[in-house]
Amino acid sequence: MKKSLTQLSDGRELIFYDIDDSAVRDAVDRRTLQPVPRGSETRYDPLHADWMVVAAHRQNRTFHPPADECPLCPSDAGRYSEIPAGDYDVVVFENRFPALAGEPTPKGRPGGRCEVICFSSDHDRSFAQLPASQAALVLEAWADRTTELYQRDDIEQVFLFEDRGEERTLVHPHGQIYGYPFVVPRVARVLESALKHRARTNRNIFDDLVARECAESVRLVLETEHWVAFVPYTARWPYEVHLYPRQRVADLGALAGPARDEFPVVYQEVLRRFDALFDGSASPTPYISAWLQAPRRVGRDEFALHLEVFTARRSATKVKHLAGSEHVMGVSINEISPEQAAARLRALGEGQGLTSHA
């Protein structure tokens, strides 16, 4: 992998990740851009003991441009995009409309950082369709960004995710990287549970969770020498799969060796099964895929890196909408049992060469 750093015309950082070590990246952003807005603010809610972000400047961000105006496609002689190059493998750049602004605010904490990661220069290619070498390069970029952002004093939590679906976001294959200036509420709650479990059993809660799923096997989707993928016992979405490395690590920077090498094969297989779920749909399966990592300073000995991928689609024509119980009271209701979902996802992988369990 070769990493090349440059800047866009408004001063934002852009990073090329190339498979070819001899790649030369010397293109210049020829646009004239206004400075990036820095108006977001983080606010603490003492009633619910969590954080939220106010980012009013994002009201005017780019939304559903036509394919020939996609800001994530390579630039050409007639049109300049966010990537000042005619082609690329993987690119990361600072978001032009960041939810987390990156500068101190009068009332809130420092704003953190928001980045965009483009998985491919091909506008119509999904992550599941990437060549193995390019999927591995994305993993290298994720790990590199995690390690680098955790070296910043103003960032406590790094979150990497892909929100795929033409109804929700840009169609171009991409994800986002958030560097929060606080430990996010969900991870804080999980760490609290992990510490209580440790005090009660002297065991790690994630190790016990994975062991239970492997022992019961009914919710397993697939497993390999170094990874386990299953529908969780308390899945909140119609189809939801969690991927864990068998050897527990805190974050992507610590994921190494065979587990790192094997991940793209496992993950792309899970995504292919998601895409095969709804053959009657006119569009690919929308999903959110998210890496959960340990925070920078706390809980690193107890947390387990894992990836969660889920879809709100229940069938080719039906979508799960959150009801009042879920929106207001936080009590999830799932219309498909986790065991049924796992059986369906296992069946879609028959004959693929990866171990699935009945």
Residue 320 contacts residue 306 (beta carbons within 8 Å): no
Distances (CA, A) of 302 to 71, 146, 199, 231, 295: 40, 18, 12, 22, 11
Q: What is the pLDDT of residue 143?
A: 98
pTM: 0.92
Q: What is the pLDDT of residue 59?
A: 65
Q: What is the pLDDT of residue 218?
A: 98
According to DSSP, the residues that pair with 338 across neighbouring strands are none
Which strands sit side by side in the sheet containing 157-164, from one edge to the other?
A: 2-7, 13-18, 90-94, 113-118, 174-180, 157-164, 287-292, 306-311, 239-245, 227-230, 220-223
Q: What is the pLDDT of residue 103?
A: 57
Report the alpha-carbon distance of residue 289 to residue 119 in Å, rounded.
14
Q: What is the pLDDT of residue 358?
A: 47
Is 242 assigned a catalytic role? Answer: no
pLDDT digits (tens), the chain, 358 positions? 999 999 999 999 999 999 999 999 988 998 988 887 777 788 888 988 888 888 776 666 666 677 788 999 999 878 899 999 999 999 999 998 888 875 555 555 567 899 999 999 999 999 999 999 999 999 999 999 999 999 998 899 999 999 998 766 788 999 999 999 999 999 999 999 999 999 999 999 999 999 999 999 999 999 999 999 999 999 999 999 999 999 999 999 999 999 999 999 999 999 999 999 998 777 889 999 999 999 999 999 999 999 999 999 999 889 998 889 888 888 889 999 999 999 999 999 875 656 655 4
* Closest to 144 in 3D by CA, of 3, 293, 274, 352: 3
Q: Considering 64, 123, 172, 174, which one is annotated as catalytic?
A: 174
- The 3-state DSSP class for residue 110 equals coil
Residue 305 contacts residue 252 (beta carbons within 8 Å): yes
Q: What is the pLDDT of residue 49?
A: 85
Could you tell me the two tokens for 5?
């750093």
DSSP count for the chain of H helices, then E strands = 6, 13
Q: H or E element: which one contains 141? A: helix 132-149
Domains of the chain: 2-182 (3.30.428.10), 186-347 (3.30.428.10)
The angle at the Cα of 270, spanning 63 to 130, to the nearest 5 degrees, equals 60
